[in-house]
Structures are given as C-alpha cells and as structure tokens.
Chain A
Amino acid sequence: MGSKESFILMNLLLLLGTFSGLILRGSPRICSYVSSAFTALAAVCGLFLSGNILSTGKAFSFNLPGLIPWVDFAFFLDNVAAFFLLIISLLTLAISIYSIGYNEEHYHKRDVGLLCIGINLFILSMIGVVTANSAMIFLIFWETMTLVSYFLVVYEYEKEESVSAGFIYILMAHAGTAFILTAFLLLYRHSGSLDFTAFRTSAGDLPGGLKDLLFVFFFIGFGIKAGIVPLHIWLPKAHPAAPSNVSALMSGVMIKVAVYGLIRMVMDVLGGGSMWWGGVILVVASVSAVFGILYALVENDIKKLLAYSSIENIGIILMGVGASMVFSSVGLHGPALIALTAGLLHALNHALFKGLLFLSAGSVVYSSHARNIEELGGLIKKMPWTALFFLTGAVSICGLPPFNGFVSEWFTFQGLLMGFGALEGGSKVFLPMVAIVLCLSSALAAACFVKAFGITFLAMPRSEHARHALEVPLFMRLGMGILAVLCLLLGVLPQYILGPIGNVASTLIHAEVYVGINGVSSDLFTLAPLKLNLSSFSPQGVFLLLLTLMGGLLLILGIPYKKTVLGETWGCGIPALLPKMEYTATAFSKPFMIIFRDIYDITEDVEKIASPTPLQPHFVRITRYRASVGHIFDRYFYELILQAVMAVSSRMQVIQTGSMHLYLLYIFVTLIVLLFWAR
C-alpha cells in the first residue's frame, strides 16, 4: 500500500470514527468501542505511512484541488511532517485503546458520542496542521484544532472550573492565531501566494527587519500554543479540566504540533536567521524550564502538576531548537544537527512519557475520583499496574537511565556543551549556562516526581476515596502498557530512531551534513555506542551492565522476599500509625517553598482555633494552616497588560460622546483623509 492510499485511508478512518460517534450516540458502549476502534486503525495507518516516509525518505504530495472554491487543499509530507505524524500516531494508538475502557466513566453522565466525535476530529485536525502545505489549509486546520479542543476542554460543562478554563484557553489560543495569521499575511504580501513552497523561495530576499518581525510573530503565536512562559497561563487550567484521554492528547501531541509550526516556519520556510533568534529562544526556554518545574513542585492537583511539567519539557525541547539555530546562524552545521536531533528526540520522548503519565493519572482519577494527591496514598497495593506505569513515566520524565528521557537529555547536553568549543567570545559560556539550567530543572523534576509518585501510590490511604480504589479495566492498562514499553525500548535501543531523526534535522537546517554518531562496539558492555565530539554513550551496554549486576545480586542474596518479619512502622511508641501521621505533599515541597519564596508569591495563614468549651478557652484544639502560591506572571505581566489596555481605552472614551452629529463628522473626515491618501 503506497503513501497515497495510506494517507487517504487514515483520514477516512478518522472521519468514520467521527460519524460513528454521531450516529451511534444512542448506545454509549457501542459508540465508544466502534469509534475508538476506528481511531486505533487510523493510528496504525499513520504509523505505517510515517514509517514508510521516514525510512525511504521519499516526500509525498497530495492535492485536492476542486473541493472548495479558492481553497487549494495542498498537503505535503516530507520527513519532518512524517516524524510529527509518527508522534501523533503513536499516542493516538495508545490513547484510543485506553479510551475504550476510560469512556465508561462518562457513560451515564454525559454524551459519550460527543467525546468520540471530538477526539477523532481533534486528531484529524492535528494531522491536517502537520501535513499542510499552504497557509490557508494550515490556518483552517489550526483553527479547527483549537475549536474542537475547546469543546473537549469544556466537556464536563457542569463544572465551573472547566468552563472558565475553556474561556482562558480559547482567548489565548486566538491571540496566538492572530499573530500567526498576521505573519502569514505579511509573507503573502511579500511572496504573492499562500503556498509554503512560494514562501520558501521568496524568503531569500526578505528584508532583514521584516524577517525579524516575522520571527517574533511566529514565536509568540506558536509559543502561546506550546506553552512558553509567560504565555502559559492557559495550560495549567485547560489540561486538567479536560477528560484524561484528551489531556494526554493535548499535552502529548498538541503542544508538539505547536513546536512543529515554529520549527517549520522559522527554520524551514524562513531559513533561519541571525544569532539573536536562537538566543531569545534559549532564554525563553530556560525560563520556561525552571518556572514550569518550580510551579509543578508546589502543586497538589495531580493533573495540574503534570501540566506544569509539560511547560518544563517544552523548555527543554526549545533549548535544543534554540541551540541549533544559534549554530546554524554561524554556519556550524554539525553541532546544529546534534542540537536539533536532541530537541526532536525529546519531543518524541516527551509525547510518550507525558501521555503515559496523563493516562495513569486518569486511571487514578477514574478509580478514586480524587485529583488532590493529599487525599490519595497506598494505591500501589490496589492498583499495582497503574503504579508501575506511573513509576515508569515518572522515572522517564526525570531523565534517569535506562529510560528514554535520559537519551534525549544526554543529547541536549551534548548539543549545548558543544557551544563552548565551537563558538567564540561571550557566547562560549552562554550555552553551558543553559546546560546548567537544564540540570537544575531536571533535578527539580526528580524531586517533583518523587513527591507525585510517593504520596499518591505509597504508604497508607489518606481518605475514603483512596481506600476504595480498584485496578482499572484491561483496555486502560493496555493503552498505558504500550507507552511504558516504548519508553523503555527507546531508552535502551535509541539508535533505530536516531537515523530518521537526523535526516529530519538535516532537512530543517537545509544542510546535507551527516554526523556519524554510531561508534564501534569495542566490548561486551560497550555495544553500539553513540559517539559524539565530547563523549560517547552506549545505552545497551549500560542496560546490560545493570542487568548483569542485578543478576549477580539476586544470585548471591536471593530475591528480596525471604526471611522477613512484618511489623508496624516505628511511630515513636504510638501503637498504630494513622494515615494522618504520614508525610503530606505540602510538607514534602515546603523546603522548596521556603528556598524559592521570592519566586512563589506565598501567602500563609495559620489559624488556631481554641477549644469550644468555655471551661478550657486557652487550649488550642485545632490548628489550621493554609498556604497559597501566587502566580507572579499574573501579577507582574498580565495585570500590567490589562491595566495598560484599560488606561488606553478610558483615554479613548473621550471620542464616544453619543452625539450622532459628531459621529457623522468622524465618518466625513475619515473619508476625506482616505481620499487624499489613496491618491
């Protein structure tokens, strides 16, 4: 089956999924099963198609000229689009299998058909964005993606939180679309056509100032959707409010589609630019990485924590992209290739482990109906598989070997540190500084996920919700399992994906450079090492060594399930430990709250409620501690913008007098001025 057939089949299957959602709305179970089956089949087609293009390297064009007048449906799948299609398909496969079980939660409360329609249309629009070859098509699918995801975010419309989250989301998304639209219109004016190939050929003679303006507009427009700081405020509200399979899609795929837009427009179409572009991206990426994880550390809502962590990882992806742009601007194509490979690999890895984490969090919420981790605990005994999958996702996202997060972080370090040797002057230290920021954010992520995993799954249940949790149905476990296995596989055997990613990167930086990264296996524990300028690393070798040592340990000491006596945890003499005595999530992150108190605008309140009986009015019975973290971006960035807008508007109110005669005079004067100006 050729590329054209699989492309048509994939889109057809998604449309069938949408229609089955529409037609079978009456019986939720059948609707969910049939629709998810279509989505899964479409994902398989997508995998096949992207694998085909990535391995053969043959780009594929598809045009539907006559469908709507004046709109040319031009699609173009080169290896860049195919790579992002691979990300979309992998996650769609896992999420659609997961949805078969997950949608049960909504069977009797809401319309499951709408959820199925929404998911299929969402995926279809994302595929459209990634494969579009014309500004018109790109914007049509981009807007569809935003609108459909808005409806999915407000799916649980009876909750106040969902509705307000949806409002902020659609507001900011449209602000972003406005920037992208303006940039496209500027390019259209310069090149005369809306086609991306026309943009690309005419970008050579863009005046410098216009090119810089275009970069700024594209960066802001795509950055809002990707969730860079300070334009991220919608992300922690919208991603948790949506149903968990949608959250996984949004956080795992949609923000990568925004990164695709940025990379495609700035690196491919505009052809890269001055060094300060990369510098700006690096600064924004570093700030996003640190602030994202700092806010995740103090968050107790499990889905909000994951949303903030997505902001951190977008920062890491953009570190690779920014470093690549810095290198390309001075003509160093080898390091540029490595840095961009790092960014793209991290995009793939993040989609996998963030999808896995959101699906596991969704399973936790499905069983226990609680999102606050302070109410959970002890779930590892009731939900062992979910706990294992969450642990896999948590270890991967912290970048710990032997999982996939480590490989992409290693590459990002290599790309950034090459800047020391390759660049000159002050920028010599700039890139290693970004590497240190990456290390800081990675270490903070480890703290965050120890908290998330430990408080949610370990020790004793802290509330009734957690006590009655049960393991989730088979399909949900299957969906999570696929992603968990992929996380381990890509961590141990990354070389199979590194070749295609290298090709994608060299397409984007417009340079036919081949950086041989596969070294020679020298011995048993140095299998197929990845060899770069500064160092080499053999994922299989390390994994093999770990297994050998573990095997040796087990042989000598035996498996850890013998000669143990079970007893109660030491509680300083108290006979039985209560869940109230366990460590809480707020307490776990309190040291960070104290150390970074200038960043977290903290308001603390300690209330001592004395005994209610009049006989003992001075003995404190209840102490209530309340701490809330303010958001400095709300206070120093958005408030200022709002105040400025309000100030300007109230100044301009002077012209609104209400007098019809004055308004007619305005029209007359404007007409005269325009007639003189257009002469």
Chain B
Amino acid sequence: MDPISFFTQLACLLLGAPLLQGFIKKIKSRLQGKRGPSVLQPYYDIWKLFRKDSVLSEHASWVFRFAPYGVFMFTLTAALFVPLYSLKAPMAHAGDCILVVYLLGMARFLQAAAALDTGSAFGGMGSSREMTIGSFAEPALFMALFAVGLHFNSLNLNEMVSGVSQGGAAHVSFFNVLLFVGFFVVLIAETGRIPVDNPSTHLELTMVHEAMLLEYSGSYLALIEWSKAVKQFMFFSLMANVFLPIAVLEGSPATLSSLGIFSLKLVILGYITAWVETLNAKLRLFRVPNLLLFSMGCSFLAMLSIIFVR
C-alpha cells in the first residue's frame, strides 16, 4: 500500500459514494416523470446532519452510540480492498474477498444489535428482517465471488480483477451472463433496493434497513447514511470491475482513461439499477429467499460451466 493510492481511494470512496446515490435517485425520478432532487443532494443531507444535534433514546446503551462509528469503520475498511479505477486496491495482500464479506457482516451485526437497543418494536423488526435477508444474501454473494475466484485460481480481489481484464474485451459467454445476473441480484439485496427493500418508503412496516435507523439523528445518522452510500459504491465497483468484463482496466496506476472507463461503467450500472427499481414492485419478505436462491443457482451453474464447458 502506498500512501498516495490509499488516500486517493479513501477520497474517491467518501466523495464518490454520495454522488452515485444522488445519480441513481435522479434517474429514478426522471423515469417516474418527476424532476427529482439535485444530484448533489446527498452531500447536502450529510453536511446538514453533521451540523445537527442528536437526540438519543434514554434506554440506549453504549452499543447504540458506538454502532455508527463501528459500521462506518468496517464498511470503509472493506471498501479499501476493492479495486476501483486501477488494478491495485490499496490493501492488496492484506485480505481477500472472504475478509471483505465478513467485514460487511460485522457491520451488519453491529447495526442490527444497535437497532434492538432502544426498545422500539420497529428497530427489532428491521433487525430481524435484515438478518433474515442477510443470511441468504451472504451465501449468494460468496457463490458469485467463488465462481469468479475459482476460475482465476485466486480469491484476492486484485487478481480476480486482473484475471477478468486479461480475459479479453466484451466476450459474452455463458459464464459471464450467468454471473452478471447472479451478482446483480445480490447487489440489489445488499444495497437494499426494490425489489428486496424500498429505500424511500415512509411506512415502518415495509422497512427493512430504514427501520434500523429510525432512532438515529445528527452525526450518528450522517455516519450511517454515508456508510450505506459507501457500501453501495463498493458493490457497484465490484460489479463493474469483476462482473462486467467490457472495456478492461488498464494498468496499475490510475490513468485518466481508466477513471473515465470506471465512471462510465458506474453510470451504465446506475441506469440499469434505476430501471430495475422502477419496473419492479417490492417483493414479499418471504419471497426474497427464493430470489436469492435463484442467484445462487445462477452462480452455481456458472461454476459448473467452468469445469464442463471448455
């Protein structure tokens, strides 16, 4: 890890994440016939929240206060392992995709535990639903990552991305299409978008992720919203670099063209996500495992195709 790439990636994550969030929201609004908030609105929201005071429940303990810091810390650490615009993520050899998934799992654990801390039934409900969806989303995510990793004989994210880059430009093979579909479903589940969860609902009984945040305010809420954006950015980057092998990444230092390609891929994926969100309705909670099992099935078929389709 050299300090330049470390701080550049940190800056890109922290500054780029709200932009992606705002962009997807803008596209969704346009698709629904509205003008929508400004693309920079998430920045204004985070800035506003940091300047506000917090009101905390009197039943909450230190777990509630610590959780936003913990979630932010673990999400950011996981995101530092993902190669964004170059073939080298800063934390190249310190961890692999298993570590990344479990760091996100720790963030989820802290968030879910803190949601139970205020004694609110909404928090408990959100916590329960999040852990249910998470217990299927994690194996599905692993399945997709293992399919790619075992194909390129490495679980290290840098090497997975360089393996995909060397595989050549846009070749649509059975393997790639299956993996794209499989991982896209996981992306929807992990970033909490329709059809798994509605990020802009106001009805508590339909919330999954939002219900865990109901009692947070001020800088705590700012940290959690920011972590959510960073996690989303991380998943979109994984999707762009690993599961969308068109227009490969260039070399190891970041060049202007690789930055441009990366941004273009994120824009395309943002459009696809917005379309999927607009065209679908939210699934019943108990149908979500079926969806994630479908994703696991796609990734499993992809894995089989490595062995048998040569």
Residues of chain A at the chain B interface (Cβ within 8 Å):
378, 380-381, 387, 391, 395, 398-401, 406, 409-410, 413, 417, 420-421, 428-429, 432, 435-436, 439-440, 442-444, 446-447, 449-451, 453-455, 457-460, 519, 522-526, 529, 531, 533-538, 541-542, 545-546, 549-550, 553-554, 557, 560-561, 563-571, 577, 579, 581-584, 587-592, 594-595
A–B Cβ pairs within 8 angstroms, 29 of them: A387-B61, A401-B106, A420-B150, A435-B146, A436-B139, A436-B296, A442-B105, A443-B138, A446-B108, A446-B109, A454-B117, A537-B98, A537-B99, A538-B93, A541-B91, A560-B65, A560-B220, A563-B53, A563-B218, A565-B56, A569-B58, A577-B119, A583-B124, A583-B125, A588-B124, A588-B127, A588-B128, A592-B132, A592-B135
Residues of chain B within 8 A of A564, CB atoms compared: 53-56, 218
CB distance from A135 to the nearest CB of B (A): 41
Residues of chain B within 8 A of A454, CB atoms compared: 112-113, 116-117, 124, 127
CB distance from A302 to the nearest CB of B (A): 15
Q: Which of A435, A436, A554, A582 contacts B119 (CB 8 A)?
A: A582
Is residue B228 contacting chain A, with contact meaning CB distance below 8 A?
no
CB distance from B274 to the nearest CB of A (A): 29
In the complex, the answer to whether A401 meets B102 with C-beta atoms within 8 Å is yes
In the complex, the answer to whether B95 meets A443 with C-beta atoms within 8 Å is no
Q: Which of B53, B62, B93, B220 contacts A522 (CB 8 A)?
A: B93
Chain B's closest residue to A538 (CB) is B94
Given contacts A380-B62, A436-B296, A582-B124, 6 further A-B contacts (CB under 8 A): A409-B102, A450-B131, A545-B91, A549-B72, A566-B56, A592-B135
Q: Tell me the chain B residues, 47-76 only, with Cβ under 8 Å from chain A.
A: 53-59, 61-63, 65-66, 68-69, 72-74, 76
Chain A's closest residue to B160 (CB) is A535
Q: A417-B155, A563-B218 are known contacts. Are A432 and B61 too (CB-CB below 8 A)? A: no
| Alpha-carbon separation in the docked complex, A518 to B13 (Å) | 31
In the complex, the answer to whether B150 meets A541 with C-beta atoms within 8 Å is no
Chain B contact surface mostly: helix
Chain A's closest residue to B137 (CB) is A443
| Alpha-carbon separation in the docked complex, A392 to B128 (Å) | 21
In the complex, the answer to whether B109 meets A570 with C-beta atoms within 8 Å is no
In the complex, the answer to whether B154 meets A460 with C-beta atoms within 8 Å is no
Residues of chain A within 8 A of B156, CB atoms compared: 534-536
Is residue B238 contacting chain A, with contact meaning CB distance below 8 A?
no
Residues of chain B at the chain A interface (Cβ within 8 Å):
1-2, 53-59, 61-63, 65-66, 68-69, 72-74, 76-77, 80, 90-99, 102-103, 105-106, 108-109, 112-113, 116-125, 127-129, 131-132, 134-136, 138-139, 142-143, 146, 149-150, 153-156, 214-215, 218-220, 223, 285-286, 289, 296, 303-304, 307
Residues of chain B within 8 A of A550, CB atoms compared: 69, 73
| Alpha-carbon separation in the docked complex, A250 to B29 (Å) | 59
Residues of chain A within 8 A of B142, CB atoms compared: 435-436, 439
| Alpha-carbon separation in the docked complex, A583 to B303 (Å) | 41
In the complex, the answer to whether B93 meets A526 with C-beta atoms within 8 Å is yes
| Alpha-carbon separation in the docked complex, A583 to B2 (Å) | 47
Residues of chain A within 8 A of B155, CB atoms compared: 417, 534-535
Chain B's closest residue to A445 (CB) is B135
Q: A460-B59, A565-B53 are known contacts. Are A429 and B307 too (CB-CB below 8 A)? A: yes
| Alpha-carbon separation in the docked complex, A429 to B146 (Å) | 11
In the complex, the answer to whether B132 meets A421 with C-beta atoms within 8 Å is no
Q: A459-B59, A582-B121 are known contacts. Are A545 and B132 too (CB-CB below 8 A)? A: no
| Alpha-carbon separation in the docked complex, A590 to B94 (Å) | 39
Residues of chain B within 8 A of A592, CB atoms compared: 132, 135
CB distance from A457 to the nearest CB of B (A): 8
CB distance from B100 to the nearest CB of A (A): 10
In the complex, the answer to whether B59 meets A537 with C-beta atoms within 8 Å is no
Residues of chain A within 8 A of B57, CB atoms compared: 566-569
Residues of chain A within 8 A of B76, CB atoms compared: 549
CB distance from B83 to the nearest CB of A (A): 14
In the complex, the answer to whether B131 meets A526 with C-beta atoms within 8 Å is no
CB distance from B37 to the nearest CB of A (A): 25
CB distance from B163 to the nearest CB of A (A): 12
Q: A446-B109, A536-B93, A583-B116 are known contacts. Are A428 and B307 too (CB-CB below 8 A)? A: yes
| Alpha-carbon separation in the docked complex, A582 to B122 (Å) | 9
| Alpha-carbon separation in the docked complex, A442 to B143 (Å) | 14
| Alpha-carbon separation in the docked complex, A632 to B119 (Å) | 35
| Interface contact tally, CB-CB below 8 A | 252
| Alpha-carbon separation in the docked complex, A584 to B139 (Å) | 27
Chain A's closest residue to B107 (CB) is A400
Chain A's closest residue to B143 (CB) is A436
CB distance from B17 to the nearest CB of A (A): 15
CB distance from A260 to the nearest CB of B (A): 28
| Alpha-carbon separation in the docked complex, A398 to B97 (Å) | 17
Q: A400-B109, A450-B127, A571-B120 are known contacts. Are A538 and B95 too (CB-CB below 8 A)? A: yes
Leading 3 A-B pairs by shortest Cβ distance: A583-B124, A535-B96, A454-B116
In the complex, the answer to whether B94 meets A537 with C-beta atoms within 8 Å is yes
In the complex, the answer to whether A557 meets B219 with C-beta atoms within 8 Å is yes
In the complex, the answer to whether A439 meets B139 with C-beta atoms within 8 Å is yes
Chain B's closest residue to A584 (CB) is B124
Chain A's closest residue to B108 (CB) is A446
| Alpha-carbon separation in the docked complex, A49 to B289 (Å) | 51
In the complex, the answer to whether A581 meets B117 with C-beta atoms within 8 Å is no
| Alpha-carbon separation in the docked complex, A413 to B108 (Å) | 21
In the complex, the answer to whether B108 meets A526 with C-beta atoms within 8 Å is no
Residues of chain B within 8 A of A440, CB atoms compared: 135, 138-139
Chain B's closest residue to A597 (CB) is B286
| Alpha-carbon separation in the docked complex, A442 to B135 (Å) | 8
Residues of chain B within 8 A of A413, CB atoms compared: 98
CB distance from B254 to the nearest CB of A (A): 18
Chain A's closest residue to B56 (CB) is A564
CB distance from A558 to the nearest CB of B (A): 9
Residues of chain A within 8 A of B99, CB atoms compared: 401, 406, 410, 537, 542
Chain A's closest residue to B64 (CB) is A458
| Alpha-carbon separation in the docked complex, A579 to B59 (Å) | 11
CB distance from A554 to the nearest CB of B (A): 8
In the complex, the answer to whether A450 meets B215 with C-beta atoms within 8 Å is no
Residues of chain A within 8 A of B69, CB atoms compared: 550, 553-554, 557, 560
Q: Which of B59, B95, B153 contacts A534 (CB 8 A)?
A: B153
In the complex, the answer to whether B132 meets A432 with C-beta atoms within 8 Å is no
In the complex, the answer to whether B80 meets A567 with C-beta atoms within 8 Å is no
| Alpha-carbon separation in the docked complex, A373 to B134 (Å) | 23
In the complex, the answer to whether B56 meets A567 with C-beta atoms within 8 Å is yes
CB distance from B20 to the nearest CB of A (A): 21
In the complex, the answer to whether B150 meets A421 with C-beta atoms within 8 Å is yes
| Alpha-carbon separation in the docked complex, A594 to B80 (Å) | 37
Q: A406-B102, A546-B74, A591-B286 are known contacts. Are A570 and B215 too (CB-CB below 8 A)? A: yes
Interface centre among A455, A529, A583, A590, by most chain B C-beta atoms within 10 angstroms, is A583
Interface centre among B102, B146, B149, by most chain A C-beta atoms within 10 angstroms, is B102
CB distance from A133 to the nearest CB of B (A): 39
| Alpha-carbon separation in the docked complex, A417 to B154 (Å) | 10
| Alpha-carbon separation in the docked complex, A579 to B120 (Å) | 9
In the complex, the answer to whether B131 meets A446 with C-beta atoms within 8 Å is yes
CB distance from B155 to the nearest CB of A (A): 4
| Alpha-carbon separation in the docked complex, A255 to B162 (Å) | 45
CB distance from A323 to the nearest CB of B (A): 15
| Alpha-carbon separation in the docked complex, A421 to B286 (Å) | 36
| Alpha-carbon separation in the docked complex, A516 to B78 (Å) | 27
In the complex, the answer to whether A458 meets B117 with C-beta atoms within 8 Å is yes
Interface centre among B57, B65, B223, by most chain A C-beta atoms within 10 angstroms, is B57
In the complex, the answer to whether B54 meets A458 with C-beta atoms within 8 Å is no
Q: A429-B303, A581-B121, A595-B132 are known contacts. Are A534 and B116 too (CB-CB below 8 A)? A: no
Residues of chain A within 8 A of B296, CB atoms compared: 436
| Alpha-carbon separation in the docked complex, A409 to B105 (Å) | 14
Q: A444-B135, A526-B91 are known contacts. Are A581 and B119 too (CB-CB below 8 A)? A: yes
In the complex, the answer to whether A546 meets B77 with C-beta atoms within 8 Å is yes
Q: Which of A387, A398, A569 contacts B59 (CB 8 A)?
A: A569
| Alpha-carbon separation in the docked complex, A582 to B57 (Å) | 14
Residues of chain A within 8 A of B128, CB atoms compared: 451, 583, 587-591
